Amino acid sequence: MADTQDSAAPGERVVIKKYANRRLYNTASSSYVTLEHLSEMVKQNIDFVVYDAKTNEDITRSVLTQIIFEEESQQGQSLLPIQFLRQLIGFYGNSMQAFLPSYLELSLASFTEQQERMRKQFQAMGHTPGVGAFDEQVRQNLALFDRAMKMFSPFAYAKAEAPPPPVPAAPRAEPTPPPADEALTALRKQMEEMQAQIEKLAAKR
């Protein structure tokens, strides 16, 4: 296995060459590497750029996308929800497409910063953060993302969320109004039962 720690000088990117046979060559470590090696370099915050060895075209984006595809294909490794992927595909060719990359970058940067802050706080208290520790933050980020999606494509969301048009009903006699008193009585009874349970739990504590 190639040593992914071998990198270019500080402040410089590692240059990866991709040849016609799909082999990837790390010019810093003078060794051939795989997508798995590049994935580890990303996780180690080693910056790199991938060039086509023949055309010298920057193909970093396509290689990173391929790494994501490989990660998503592994059982239990998927990170991207199906609905997110559908929405993402829907933005290709959309008039607001140019705004989405910047928004996603800012969202991920904010999430990473919050995650790191929470991890440090838990470590300072001598605890290891579990999955549940990030639940609230995840919900907030998803809500923010959903609002942004609606802002970017309001017509698509309006169409998706709009209720179906009402079907004209045949003329009929005026319906009998529901027994409001009975509903209120049942609701009041449920609230009283819930209050009694809460008081019982508080007394036990």
In this prediction, residue 204 has a pLDDT band, given cuts at 50, 70 and 90, of: low
The first and second tokens of residue 177, run together, are: 């109004």
Contact at 8 Å (CB) between 99 and 91?
no
The first and second tokens of residue 27, run together, are: 């010019």
Residue with structure tokens 């500080």? 10
pLDDT, one tens digit per residue, over 145-167 is 666 555 555 444 454 455 555 66
pLDDT, one tens digit per residue, over 2-23 is 454 555 666 688 999 999 888 9
Whole-number pLDDT of residue 103? 83
Question: Is the four-CA dihedral 94, 96, 97, 103 of positive or negative sign?
Answer: negative
Rounded Cα gap, residues 39 and 46, in angstroms: 10
Tell me the CB-side half-sphere exposure of residue 194, using CA atoms within 13 A. Answer: 6
By the 10 Å C-beta count (0-12 exposed, 13-18 middle, 19+ buried), 197 is classed as exposed
Rounded Cα gap, residues 185 and 92, in angstroms: 54
Q: Which residues, 6 or more positions from 81, have their beta carbon under 8 angstroms from its beta carbon?
A: none
Tell me the CB-side half-sphere exposure of residue 177, using CA atoms within 13 A. Answer: 5
Q: For the residues 53-78, what does the mean pLDDT come to?
A: 91
pTM value surpassing 0.75? no
H-run or E-run covering 144:
helix 135-152
pLDDT, one tens digit per residue, over 100-126 is 888 888 888 887 787 777 777 777 776
